[in-house]
Structure 1
Amino acid sequence: MIDELGAISASPDHLTRLFLTPEHRRAADIVARWMAEAGLAVSEDAMGTVRGHWHPAGRDAPRLLIGSHIDTVVNAGKYDGPMGVILGILAVQEMVRAGFRPPYGIDVLAFGDEEGTRFPTTLSASSAVAGVFPPASLAAVDAEGISLRDALVAYGKNPDEIPAAAYDPGKVIAYVEAHIEQGPVLEAEGEPLGVVTAIAGASRLSVTVTGEAGHAGTVPMRMRRDALLGASEMALAVERIAKADPHGMVATVGRMHVEPGSINVIPSRVVFTIDLRSSSDMSRREALTRFEREAHRIADQRHLGVVISAFHEVATVPCYRDLQLRLRNAVADLGHRAPSLPSGAGHDGQAMSKLCPIGMLFVRCRNGVSHNPAEYTSPDDMGLAAAALIRFIERFQLPQLDSSTGGAPT
């Protein structure tokens, strides 16, 4: 199943499957067929989310949601997203085969736009399901000038029907997602599965450092106002701040533009980005304050100017403790220890948390590689993840999950 979806690409040389493209349509149709073959009723909402419905207790019974996404980044791996959809289908298929009759239903969801690759949007499909889709996003355009609204129409959807995609919060128990870890922790600990504690919050900054251009051969070092050296020192400062944080903070300087960019001219202007993530919002805010203070100290010391502007801010989303415990117990039933770890990457659970409690199961991936053709998760580990989902469903009772206690049973 992984290989079949992995063959659906806009490029013959690598895997690229963007939201609301012909490739997305082909993948959605295959997923719908698998859902039907597993014994689920199939529907598709106005944002293109494929839904497989299993309701042994009737349509009015509360339901557990299991899902992930089927869109990809450019030059992607095969496992990020589709694995979670497939594991959900296989788990429910086993429940149907075994004649399991819980007092709740299960919907398996195959989202699009989790990666945010085609449009300057992200999580639009899961946001619609959660009832928090921002209508202004319909005006967003891709690289070819096609708006999200027009792309939906071309895909055969009516954007005016997006509000109808939202679930009634009173009929949803929880959302659970299995996903490759996209990091090296589980492999380092020798464990195939882990339980996610939170989806990390993220801040993105643009930092502009200004100095003075000059001849590379004639301006003495002590008299230079080198914007690149100042920016480099600031980049090292944010690294130190992240390393000193006790909450697993990570910081990345992903872009650095140098002007005038000549080999024999002292750089006069540098613009660079910072991506800062942490499972603690308070820790992340404190780190931003420390970085701003350090950046201005460095600029003053080097006689430079610096302007810092934030252009992206997402709060941390905690996974509910009760769901963490249930997933950990399901893994323990299989004879394994499931380490607790945060997710530094974003997931559909961030949007789904606006609808219901969320839980996530991580699956080990080789060398921690993701968003890369080398991405790989073994059949054995995926099989254990499917078995853990089945155990989780078998033992799942209708919990009283109270958001005011972070998911502690009431």
Structure 2
Amino acid sequence: MISDPELITPNVERMSERFAALAEFHDSTVPGWSREVFSEPYRASRDWVRRQMADAGLDPVTDAAGNIVGRLPGRRGGGPALVTGSHTDTVSQGGRFDGIVGVLAGIEVAQRFRETGTRLEHDLTVVDFLGEEANDFGISCIGSRAVTGVLRAEHFDRVDGAGTRLGDAVTGFGLDPQRMLRQAWRPADVHAYVELHIEQGPLLERSGTSVGVVTAIAGIDRLLLRFAGQSGHAGTTAMDERHDALVSAAAAVLTVERVGCGAPVHGVATPGCIESSPGSMGVITDQARLWAELRSVDGSWLRGARKQIVDEVVAEARRRGVQVDVDHLTDQDPVPTAEPVQDVIGRSADALGLSWRAVPSGAGHDAAHLARLAPMGMIFVPSVNGRSHCPEEFTAITDIEQGVHVLASTLMSLDRMSLDRHAVVRGG
């Protein structure tokens, strides 16, 4: 058995082959890599993920929530497990590394533990969580919400742009919504959770730093604003007599941007999508919809910005004689990572001779939900030019190798520690 983390070096060739193989599962009719939740490429890729887990020595199962869960038994045999993983779904026309790094890293660490005869005291669990990315139903992190008990029955009544219920999409994917609601793990099931991920931003690359130790995961508010105006002839209705829903939505876009520009560090606001009908240049728009998102690690700013946007958008629309309905699609508070886990990650990087810095995460992650169950930490590796959620998303395999090595070392250290359960995030 090997007890020195320096000797648990990842197999770079094997990891490269797995990244290339998983990238083959995508929608070839559009640019980039699209493997969205419930899609056929996503369905096919999950069979491949289960095979990789089995090849690594894990015992993989797909749970009632659609998560692929692989377990490597520890010496104790049962009890709270060390958990790592992420997700393999992508946004539309996304990249090859977001989430994928964390799943393949967990598989590689488990395989290296088995190959070197390294036996942890705790079981090691590697998870590919179902549907982490935001989707047309307005709910992200479906699988990790289920295992942490925050997936609710009303989520399944949400509909996408085509009018399909989330519950029906879940059923069509071979899952039972009622069983998903009963899939929650107990805090006693998890010793600690650590997720490796690409940074999705420029800080690490610009500073020449190998590893990011995440301090907090941003809270996310997503809004759907529905504008109801009055249609009319575009050539005969005077400008001061119009109730144009699209103009009100366009004004709201600028309000979202302006509020975001006034945010403190690590606060952003993004108008993501706008739709209108009837969609004719000769007809004044009577219906429009705007999706917007706010993110920050500062919960007070997040709440204040949401109220400011809604108040200003409603006031501007009323001035134009347009009605506004607001639907809060997501309300997730910022989540700090556990300081003991941060410390272990930093010490692991130091021991391997790697530079590191503390960084916040502006992106959401499954880890934010796992923090409800156990002390949680995240490891970042650099993203080239800070690009993510696009075909240009890229992280060098040498940077991934270093992150995987830090992950292995961190898990080995946490395995020997007694962790304070007060580090668990409650509520939210």
Who is 2:418 aligned against?
Answer: 399
Aligned to 1:108: 126
Contact 1:295 1:306 in 2 (8 A): no
Q: Note if contact 2:65-2:143 (Cα within 8 Å) is conserved in structure 1.
A: yes
Report which stretch shifted further, 38-47 or 282-291: 282-291
User: Kindly tell me: are residues 87 and 367 of structure 1, through their superposed partners in 2, closer, same or farther at Cα, counting changes over 3 Å?
Assistant: same
Q: Distance in 2 between matches of 1:374 and 1:318?
A: 29
Cα distance in 1 between the residues matched to 2:412 and 2:217 = 26
Q: Say if 2:313 is the partner of 1:328.
A: no
How has the CA–CA distance of structure 1 residues 52 and 245 changed in structure 2, closer, same or farther, with 3 Å as cutoff?
A: same
Consecutive unaligned residues of structure 2, counting only runs of 5 or more, are 1-17
Pick which of 256-265 and 329-338 moved more: 256-265
Which is worse superposed, 320-329 or 332-341? 332-341
Output the CA distance in 1 between the equivalents of 2:342 and 2:251. Answer: 40
State whether structure 2 residue 268 is matched by structure 1 residue 250: yes
> What is the aligned counterpart of 1:71 among 89, 95, 104?
89
Partner in structure 2 of residue 309 of structure 1? 326
Partner Cα separation in structure 2 for residue 389 and residue 9 of structure 1 = 28
Map 1:375-390 → 2, pairs under 5 A = 375-390=393-408
CA contact (8 A) 2:375 2:419 kept: no
Q: Secondary structure at the match of 2:272?
A: coil
Indicate the residue corresponding to 2:362 in structure 1.
Answer: 344
Question: Which stretch shifts more, 86-95 or 148-157?
Answer: 148-157
How many matched pairs? 405
| Alignment correspondent of 2:217 | 199
Offset at residue 355 of structure 1 (A): 2.4
Pair 1:146–1:11, CA change in 2 (3 A): farther
Offset of residue 370 of structure 1: 1.8
Q: State the shift of 1:119 in Å.
A: 4.8
Unaligned ranges ≥5, structure 1: none
The alignment yields a C-alpha RMSD, in angstroms, of: 3.8
Secondary structure at the aligned position of 1:336 is classed as coil
Residues 164 and 59 of structure 1, relative CA distance in 2, 3 Å threshold:
farther
Which SS does the other structure have where 1:177 is aligned?
strand
- Amino acid aligned to 1:23: P
Matches of 2:299 and 2:321 in 1, distance apart? Answer: 30
Alignment of 1:55-70 (within 5 A): 55-70=73-88
Once residues 364 and 338 of structure 1 are traced to their aligned partners in structure 2, the CA distance between those partners, rounded to angstroms, is 11
Give the drift of 1:210: 7.2
Per-residue deviation at 1:88?
A: 0.8
The alpha-carbon deviation at position 27 of structure 1 amounts to 1.7
- Cα deviation, 1:241-272, whole Å, max 9, x if unaligned, reads 43343342111223455789777999999764
Taking the aligned partners of 1:321 and 1:249, their CA distance within structure 2 comes to: 22
Conserved 8 A contact 1:55-1:61: no
Which secondary structure does the structure 2 equivalent of 1:53 belong to? Answer: strand
Confirm or deny that 1:3 pairs with 2:7: no
Written as runs of structure 1 = structure 2, the 5 A alignment for 1:364-379 is 364-379=382-397
Q: C-alpha deviations, 1:157-204, integer Å up to 9, x for none?
A: 555543564323213112211112222222222223212222211223
In the alignment, the residues of structure 1 paired with residue 277 and residue 158 of structure 2 have an alpha-carbon distance, to the nearest angstrom, of: 30
Which residue identity does 1:109 align to in structure 2? V
2:205 aligns with one of 187, 192, 198? 187
SS of the aligned residue for 2:401 comes to helix
What residue in structure 2 maps to residue 282 of structure 1?
Answer: 300
The answer on whether the counterparts of 2:79 and 2:188 sit within 8 Å (CA) in structure 1 is: no
Give the % identical residues: 33
Following superposition, the deviation at residue 308 of structure 1 comes to: 6.9
1:43 aligns with 2:61: yes
Please, which moves more after superposition, 206-215 or 343-352?
A: 206-215
| Other structure's SS at 1:254 match | strand
**How much does 1:216 deviate?**
9.2
Shift of 1:388: 0.8
